[in-house]
Structure 1
Amino acid sequence: MTKTNGPVLTPRALNRATLARQHLLTRSSLSALDAVEHLLGLQAQNVKPPYYALAARLDGFRPEELSQALQARDAVRIVTMRSTIHLHTAEDALTLRPLVQGARERELHNFRKGLVGVDLDRLTALSRKLVEEEPRTMQQLREALLVEWPDADPQSLSVAARCRLPLVQVTPRGLWGRSGQVALTTVEHWLGRPAEPVPTPDATVLRYLAAFGPASVKDMQTWAGLTRLRDAFERLRPRLVTFRDEHGVELFDLPDAPLPDADTPAPPRFLPEFDNLLLSHADRTRVVPPELKGRYWQGNRAYCTLLVDGFLAGLWRLEEESLTIEPFGELTGAQREDVVEEAERMLTTMAGPSSFDIRFGTVLS
Structure 2
Amino acid sequence: MTDAAHDLTHRLGRQAEAVCRHYLSAGKRQGHYWQVGDVRNTPGRSMFVRLSDSVKGPAGKWTDAATGEHGDLLDVIRESQGLSNFSDAVAEAQAFLRVPPTSRDGETPHCRKRYPSRDPVISARRLFAAAQPIPGTIVETYLRKRGITALHETGSLRFHPLCYYRSDPHGPIQLLPAMVTAVTDLKGRITGIHRTWLAPDGSDKAAIATPRRAMGHLLEHAVRFGRADDVMAAGEGIETILSLRCVMPRLPMAAALSAAHLAAIVFPPGLRRLYIVRDTDPAGDRARDTLIARANAARLEAIVLSPALGDFNEDLQTLGVDALLAGLRCQLAPEDVSRFMMLSP
Comparing both structures, which one devotes a greater share of its residues to strand? 2
TM over 0.5: no
Q: Output the TM-score relative to the length of structure 2.
A: 0.24
Q: Output the TM-score relative to the length of structure 1.
A: 0.23
**More relative contact order, 1 or 2 (CA 8 Å, 6+ apart):** 1
Max radius of gyration: which structure?
2
